[in-house]
Amino acid sequence: MSWNQFQGDWQQFLGATKATWGDLTESDLAQTEGKRAALVALVQAKYGVASREAARQVNNWEWSYQIKANPMATRMSCHDMPGNWKK
pLDDT for residue 21: 94
Supply the pTM of this predicted model.
Answer: 0.71
**Burial class (CB within 10 angstroms; exposed 0-12, middle 13-18, buried 19+) of 43:** buried
Residues 6+ apart with CB under 8 A from 41: 51, 54
Tell me which residue range forms the domain holding 55: 3-80
**In this structure, which amino acid lies at residue 48?**
G
CB 40 within 8 Å of CB 54 = yes
pLDDT for residue 87: 42
Task: Return the CATH number at 41.
Answer: 1.10.1470.10
Kindly state whether residue 85 falls inside one of the protein's structural domains. Answer: no
Kindly state whether residue 87 falls inside one of the protein's structural domains. Answer: no
Sequential pLDDT tens for the chain (87 residues): 566 666 767 778 788 888 899 999 989 998 998 899 999 999 999 999 999 999 999 999 888 876 665 655 555 555 555 555 544
pLDDT for residue 65: 72
Tell me the CB-side half-sphere exposure of residue 63, using CA atoms within 13 A: 18
